Structure 1
Amino acid sequence: MEKFINGLAEFAGIAPENFEAAIPFFTKVNVPAGKLLLSAGDIASNLWFVDVGILRAYYLEQDLTLIKVLEQNAQPAEITTWIIPAFGFLTDISSFLYQKPGHYYIETLEPSTLYQLSYQNYKALSELYPEMGHLTHESTFELMDMRVRMCGLRSAADRLAFFEKQYPGITGRISVNIQASYLNITPSTLSRIRNQRK
């Protein structure tokens, strides 16, 4: 808990000794790999801070080509939008802030230790520490900006290099399929790019 509070205090720009009142607002949860924390269509009632492990958010591709996919009894493609390692946080932000049905699935990619913050506790904590509410928004915008910059790179090899720079050491911890869906390429393209580097 001390490591988490220190990290969260640093995130909020508050001295850790002045942040102890925040502790009761969080619930520590240990979650196995592959656990679905949120499903599309549900209202996000929690925000998760990652102490150990990795979270990802994704949605299912829903376009006209999906009709043919479903006719062949195949699964619709998963499009990964966020990959969040330790000391990051994740929720379906618009669903969480406005308490309306969301669009994302959120799951653990590794056995994870999370600090869960309910919507009610988030509101109360933001009153106690207004910096928390502001920084949650700012950090979300920063993540979105990073994602947009990566997606704007025309070359798949450049997107991969950007991803590896932003998340050093993470590629060996998550599947090639998930990495490829985050980069908006096929797994075979990802393997080809990596083979060309050798």
Structure 2
Amino acid sequence: MFESFKKYILSRVVITDAEFERIAAVSTIRRLRKKQYLLQEGDVWRFNAFVVSGLVRLYRVDDKGTEHVVNFAKENWWTGDRESLLSGKPSKFNIDAVEPTEVLLIGKEEFDVICREIPAMATMVHDIIQKSFVATQNRLLVHKDFTAEEKYLDMMEKYPDFILRIPLGMIASYLGITPETLSRIRNQVKK
């Protein structure tokens, strides 16, 4: 597991074996069963989490009991609640495993120290945050401006593996449409 994380880091920045050992020393692996929580609403998020294998979703449940999926994270993606991590306030979100998942966790304090001690890590984090910000902006535009069919086609183009791995109800929630609408769209797209 640490080897796949090392491969990921080395694909983005150059670090020494000693620097990686420093990172590994403060990292832990958590295995999640399908539907098992990594974070529950009301808990404070204290980690930087890297998905080693599997798939998780970040979502919120409204007062009516409806789930609203904010995002998914698969292998080689980071996940977590940045607001809770940075503020120390309880999270408004849940994170659970869509399928059996392994996540590498590094506590906030340890991660901050590593970024100070290993400048390449700070550079990598900066790049990830920039790309995440752009992706969020684009997702907001799609959500606001696209029709239901355009949203689905956009997801198929950007994340074709998600369509195969994620239950349709979760995809519908992510797209902001009903499962019935998604089913109708999928049938039209197949024709």
User: Shorter-chain-normalised TM-score: which range?
Assistant: 0.7 to 0.9
> Counterpart in 2 of 1:14?
14
Q: Summarize deviations over 1:145-197 as a string: whole Å, max 9, x none.
A: 23213213331111111112221222121111100000000001001001012
Structure 2: how far apart are the matches of 1:154 and 1:165? 14
What SS class does the counterpart of residue 170 from structure 1 fall into?
A: helix
Which 4+ residue blocks in structure 1 deviate beyond 6 angstroms?
A: none
Q: Give the structure 1 partner of residue 73 of structure 2.
A: 84
1:126 to 89, 99, 115: 115
Equivalent residues of 2:34, 2:99 under 8 A apart? yes
The percentage of counterpart residues that share the same residue type is 25
In 2: Cα distance, 1:22 partner to 1:173 partner: 31
**Partners in 1 of 2:131 and 2:87 — Cα distance?**
18
Distance 1:52 1:146 in 2: 26
Partner of 1:45: 46
Q: What RMSD over aligned residues (CA atoms) do the two structures have, in Å?
A: 1.8
1:5-154 to 2 correspondences below 5 Å: 5-11=6-12, 13-15=13-15, 17=17, 19-20=19-20, 21-62=22-63, 66=64, 76-129=65-118, 130-154=122-146
2:169 matched residue in structure 1: 177
Shift of 1:19: 4.4
Q: 1:138 to 1:54 in 2, by over 3 A?
A: same
For these two proteins, the number of residue pairs brought into alignment is: 185
For structure 2, the 5+ residue unaligned runs are none
User: 1:159 is aligned with what amino acid?
Assistant: K
C-alpha distance in structure 2 between counterparts of 1:135 and 1:145, whole Å: 16
> Deviation of residue 14 (structure 1)?
2.6
CA contact (8 A) 1:48 1:117 kept: yes
Q: TM-score, normalised by structure 1?
A: 0.85
Q: Quick check: 1:188 aligned with 2:180?
A: yes
TM-score, with structure 2 as normaliser:
0.88
Long gaps (5+) in structure 1: 67-75
C-alpha distance in 1, partners of 2:104/2:130? Answer: 20
Once residues 182 and 18 of structure 1 are traced to their aligned partners in structure 2, the CA distance between those partners, rounded to angstroms, is: 41
